[in-house]
């Protein structure tokens, strides 16, 4: 094609006011016309970045503020004493974290299937899907309740000291109501996100977070309810979040077509729907449990209270960073899947490059903050000078992990958007559990490095996983991925009704 045919597009790119209005079709055509002059790249990056941040902004807010509910609770328990913080941390990581991985893994199918129903205009089916998910989540919550209630003996069996396990059990039992709230909230939030209802979710999450800060202050400092009071306050805040999410679904005009009321149809086909969650659940659980397993292992060191306090404080900041990146990862997944489905391999590849570049810049900034404010960050949790010193010594490793977290979740989001969940699950198993975890144990217990050795094991595992995902992404034939997406869409289109099992 001659360059004259691209003149209208070039004129559009010259006008900053028109850049947001350009379609993916126009950008795909422009990227196909190689080589692309250097002067166009900043404007193309601006076009893609705008789409990414429109998608990810509210999702990041929801992810961060939901996580910050637990974060604030641990901050308040830290001021009750080092033992209380160690107990709450071990329960939060070892017990609550187990449920967190399972629930989020199960909920990953909700957004996929609800999004599919929304795209197929089977709006009434979305409410049924949400109800199926809630039923399955509540069933899982019932089973997990026994683990919460008997968490003390379980923690002792894992090698934790009796005093830490006792405090952990008190905290875990106070979180049992939160477990059931989480079982209902996860599917509801995915149900709303599948309809692109993200801004209301963000407002609700921020509002509940502010209320939770006030309630936690009253429970711990004013009423002096101690560790159990802090846990019950967290449970109460999650139930408030469930209430406002539920009222929005029931009363908002935005959901009038997707939520048509409770139905007995939700109890049909539960087993096929449950099987849909397995690949994504395994992938997500392997990632979440890896970090949490390292915290549990740190409780086996010679000075478990200091070790647990220091690594849990660092892990909380790492998790905070992870929540931010997971929002960006979700946007990457949507962008890649949308462009592959639309038949735009070059735009899909360009989106991968832009989102990774953006996340790396953000991670460099976050890593610098961790290094600059290493003492101040630990003082938010504790006034124990020994713990503060231990956290300060770990911050260089935390900074490395924060930087890696700027790449790894984004690549995982790309993998999800491309349908590689099964492959990534195997990668996670090999790099985290076959390589990273044993190395961490050897360095932590055999070399005298202690907590730092365990953390080095984590870094090595994440580094290998990231390198593997980079290789997979770099070797991807995006044109072939477009064809695979087209085949899946064609298969779905041949069905007279939305087949929730066959369509995935």
Confidence of residue 89 (pLDDT cuts 50, 70, 90): confident
Residue indicated by tokens 């968490």: 151
Residue 274 confidence (pLDDT): 66
Q: How far, CA to CA in Å, does 151 sit from each of 247, 289, 358, 371?
A: 34, 17, 41, 35
Lowest pLDDT segment from 26-30, 215-219, 356-360, 367-371: 26-30
pLDDT higher than threshold 80 for residue 349? no
Confidence of residue 29 (pLDDT cuts 50, 70, 90): low
Lowest pLDDT segment from 2-6, 62-66, 83-87, 100-104: 2-6
* Cis geometry, peptide bond prior to residue 312 (ω within 30 degrees of 0): no
Q: How far, CA to CA in Å, does 411 sit from each of 163, 177, 201, 214, 398?
A: 41, 35, 25, 37, 20
pLDDT in tens, 398-419: 788 888 877 777 777 666 655 5
pLDDT higher than threshold 80 for residue 279? no
- Tell me how far the alpha carbon of residue 129 is from its chain's centroid: 21
Q: Which two tokens stand for residue 360?
A: 């790396």
pLDDT in tens, 144-168: 888 888 878 877 776 667 777 777 8
pLDDT higher than threshold 70 for residue 308? no
Q: What angle do CA 486, 489, 494 make, to 5 degrees?
A: 125
Residue 347 confidence (pLDDT): 75
Sign of the torsion formed by the C-alpha atoms of 476, 417, 324 and 94: negative
- Cα maximum dimension of the chain: 77
Collapse the DSSP code of 307 into the 3-class scheme (helix H, G, I; strand E, B; otherwise coil) and give the result. Answer: helix
Higher pLDDT, 493 or 464: 464
Contact 346, 28 (CB under 8 A): yes
Residues ≥6 apart with Cβ < 8 Å to 74 = 85, 88, 89, 92, 312, 316, 381
Residue 258: Cβ within 10 Å count: 24
Q: How far, CA to CA in Å, does 289 sit from each of 159, 177, 429?
A: 17, 22, 11
Q: Which of 375, 319, 360 is nearest to 70 (CA)?
A: 319
pLDDT higher than threshold 90 for residue 209? yes
Residue 225 confidence (pLDDT): 80
Q: Residues 434-442: what's their mean pLDDT?
A: 83
Residue 240 confidence (pLDDT): 94
Give the count of alpha carbons within 13 A of 454, CB side only: 24
pLDDT in tens, 230-241: 888 889 999 999
- Tell me how far the alpha carbon of residue 247 is from its chain's centroid: 25
Contact 33, 13 (CB under 8 A): no
Contact 428, 420 (CB under 8 A): no
CA 137 – CA 181 distance, rounded (Å): 10
DSSP character for 92? Answer: I
Q: What angle do CA 488, 494, 499 make, to 5 degrees?
A: 75
Domain boundaries, the chain: 57-268, 282-494
Residue 241 confidence (pLDDT): 93
Contact 93, 309 (CB under 8 A): no
CA 124 – CA 118 distance, rounded (Å): 9
pLDDT higher than threshold 90 for residue 243? yes
Phi, then psi, of 206 in degrees rounded to 5: -65, -45
What's the burial of 122, exposed, middle or buried (CB within 10 Å: 0-12/13-18/19+)?
A: middle
Contact 33, 1 (CB under 8 A): yes
């Amino acid at each position: 094609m001659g360059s004259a045919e691209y003149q209208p597009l070039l004129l559009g790119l010259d006008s900053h006011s028109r850049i947001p209005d350009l379609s993916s079709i126009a950008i795909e055509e422009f990227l196909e016309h190689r080589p692309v002059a250097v002067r166009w790249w900043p404007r193309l990056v601006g076009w893609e970045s705008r789409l990414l941040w429109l998608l990810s902004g509210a999702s990041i807010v929801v992810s961060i503020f939901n996580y910050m509910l637990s974060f604030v609770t641990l901050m308040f328990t830290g001021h009750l004493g080092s033992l209380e913080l160690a107990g709450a941390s071990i329960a939060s990581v070892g017990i609550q974290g187990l449920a967190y991985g399972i629930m989020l893994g199960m909920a990953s199918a909700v957004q996929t299937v609800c999004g599919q129903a929304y795209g197929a205009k089977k709006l009434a089916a979305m409410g049924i899907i949400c109800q199926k998910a809630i039923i399955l989540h509540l069933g899982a919550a019932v089973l997990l309740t026994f683990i919460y209630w008997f968490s003390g003996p379980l923690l002792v069996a894992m090698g934790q000291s009796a005093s830490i396990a006792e405090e952990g059990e008190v905290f875990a039992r106070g979180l049992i109501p939160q477990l059931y709230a989480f079982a209902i909230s996860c599917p509801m939030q995915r149900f709303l996100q599948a309809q692109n209802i993200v801004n209301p979710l963000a407002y609700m999450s921020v509002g509940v977070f502010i209320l939770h800060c006030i309630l936690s202050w009253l429970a711990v400092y004013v009423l002096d309810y101690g560790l159990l009071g802090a846990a019950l306050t967290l449970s109460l805040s999650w139930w408030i979040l469930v209430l406002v999410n539920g009222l929005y679904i029931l009363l908002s005009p935005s959901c009038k077509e997707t939520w048509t009321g409770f139905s007995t149809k939700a109890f049909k086909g539960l087993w096929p729907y449950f099987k849909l969650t397995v690949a994504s659940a395994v992938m997500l659980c392997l990632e979440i449990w890896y970090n949490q397993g390292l915290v549990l292992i740190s409780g086996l060191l010679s000075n478990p209270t200091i070790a647990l306090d220091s690594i849990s404080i660092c892990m909380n900041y790492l998790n905070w960073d992870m929540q931010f990146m997971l929002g960006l990862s979700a946007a990457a997944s949507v962008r890649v899947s949308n462009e592959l489905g639309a038949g735009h391999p070059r735009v899909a590849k360009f989106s991968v490059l832009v989102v990774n570049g953006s996340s790396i810049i953000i991670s460099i900034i976050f890593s610098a903050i961790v290094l600059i404010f290493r003492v101040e960050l630990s003082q938010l949790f504790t006034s124990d000078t020994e713990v503060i010193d231990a956290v300060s010594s770990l911050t260089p490793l935390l900074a490395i992990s924060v930087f890696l977290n700027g790449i790894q979740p984004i690549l995982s989001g790309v993998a999800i958007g491309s349908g590689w969940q099964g492959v990534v699950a195997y990668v996670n198993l090999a790099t985290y559990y076959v390589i990273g975890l044993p190395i961490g144990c050897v360095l932590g217990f055999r070399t005298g490095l202690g907590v730092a050795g365990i953390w080095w094991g984590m870094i090595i595992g994440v580094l290998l996983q990231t390198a593997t995902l980079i290789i997979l992404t770099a070797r991807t034939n995006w044109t072939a991925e477009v064809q695979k997406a087209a085949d899946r869409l064609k298969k779905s289109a041949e069905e007279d009704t939305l087949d929730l099992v066959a369509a995935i």
